[in-house]
Amino acid sequence: MSIIIREIEEHLKHVIIPFWLKLRDDTYGGFYGFMSNDLVLHKEAEKGCILNSRILWFFSSAYTVLKDVKLLEAARHAYSFLLQHCLDKQYGGVYWSVTYDGKPFDTMKHTYNQAFAVYALSAYYEASKEEEAKNLALLLFQCIETKCKDKTGYMEAFDQCFQEIPNEALSENNVLAHRTMNTALHLLEAYTELYKITRDDRVKGSLCEILDIFVNQIYSQELARLDVFFDASYHTLIDLQSYGHDIEASWLLDRAVEVLDLQEYRTKISPVTAALTDSVYKRGYDGHSVLNECENGIVNRHRIWWIQAESMVGFVNAYEKDTTKREYLEAVEHIWDFCKTYLFDNRPGSEWFWEVDENGIPYKEREIAGPWKCPYHNGRMCIELIRRGKQQ
């Protein structure tokens, strides 16, 4: 495993970081919003605010591990863009996207998007110790809690004035969901990091509520998986297992419990995360990589970049909890080899492919960088495994 971690650190330093530094926009601020599969940089593409938040999180977190000042400076560049252009100073919250030169473009407010801003600002505070960032994260937390929440859980899609609209942005697989596991998951990670830097009792209370939602509403004990799309009352809308989200949730739920340090939630959550990991290993892992998803009993065998990255962290996390599970470490080694062989885009000036088919052939219509293609997952995998390696 130590050999893999050395390889991962070199990959982070010499591939992922240089690629995303190259996308910095020194004319209009932030980072360019789109690079197509042919490696053409579209400098006038809209800039997704989720993308900017994830880049802010990435450079902030990379700095805390590597202590390279150029990473903190890149994070400060992303932070400045968020402050000046992504925040709606009239109605509050963060836009969905802005134009290449920083004007509001898609003014939708989405709980998912607000969560990533909180996540990013918390990481930036940890890196920079700038009180303004922590205060802004708490302000957005309050915005979510007062404008995006009802008695059952969290609503998701809103117009600019926080009037609820159909949740098309986070719905897939031919369903229109009122609530999604995905939004709840990223609220969980955001509130975990915010609580870590603030120890605010309000954040603690909301984090516990989200953990309860996962245990009582989202997790299916019968099927050993997280359901994905729900109506307003948390009735599931589709027979779907997302292997990537299940393995990602396994370690993010454990991280939340670790930060909370409450035995009550350790007792509630540990069986869930163990079952999720076991389920993904037995159903989604094919001996060298993790498949996409299973809908109505039919497995989609495409391999997605972020699923492989999150699976590596999830399996390492599970092994650290139970070191008899050597098969999980072996899975990490095989997934890393798969990524090196099929998902690394070795063309000069590139990073990872988004998706390959079951034969390892990349999908050319999938961008290299864009609103959803970012350094958050593969960069986070590198950062997380380096951190864990240093703690051993």
Coil/strand/helix, residue 123:
helix
pLDDT at 19 over 80: yes
Which residues, 6 or more positions from 316, have their beta carbon under 8 angstroms from its beta carbon?
328, 329, 332, 384, 385, 388
- Give percent above pLDDT 70 in the chain: 100
**pLDDT level of residue 189 (50, 70, 90 thresholds):** very high
Can you give the pLDDT at residue 356? Answer: 98
Q: What is the mean pLDDT of residues 271-299?
A: 98
Q: What is the mean pLDDT of residues 19-39?
A: 98
**pLDDT level of residue 2 (50, 70, 90 thresholds):** confident
Calpha distance 358→218 (Å, rounded): 29
Averaged pLDDT score across all residues of the chain? 97
In terms of CATH architecture, what is 2-384?
Alpha/alpha barrel (1.50)
What pLDDT digit, counting tens, does each position of 166-188 carry? 999 999 999 999 999 999 999 99
Can you give the pLDDT at residue 89? Answer: 96
pLDDT at 165 over 80: yes
pLDDT at 346 over 80: yes
Q: What is the mean pLDDT of residues 267-284?
A: 98
Q: What is the mean pLDDT of residues 245-253?
A: 98
Whether residue 228 contacts residue 218, with contact meaning beta carbons closer than 8 Å, is answered with no
pLDDT at 23 over 80: yes
Can you give the pLDDT at residue 209? Answer: 98
pLDDT at 340 over 80: yes
Q: What is the mean pLDDT of residues 241-253?
A: 98
Can you give the pLDDT at residue 299? Answer: 98
pLDDT at 392 over 80: no
Can you give the pLDDT at residue 1? Answer: 74
- The answer, as to whether pTM is greater than 0.85, is yes
Can you give the pLDDT at residue 334? Answer: 98
**pLDDT level of residue 112 (50, 70, 90 thresholds):** very high
pLDDT at 113 over 80: yes
Phi then psi dihedrals of residue 388, to 5 deg? -65, -35
Can you give the pLDDT at residue 246? Answer: 98
Token reading at 350: 């590139």
Can you give the pLDDT at residue 391? Answer: 80
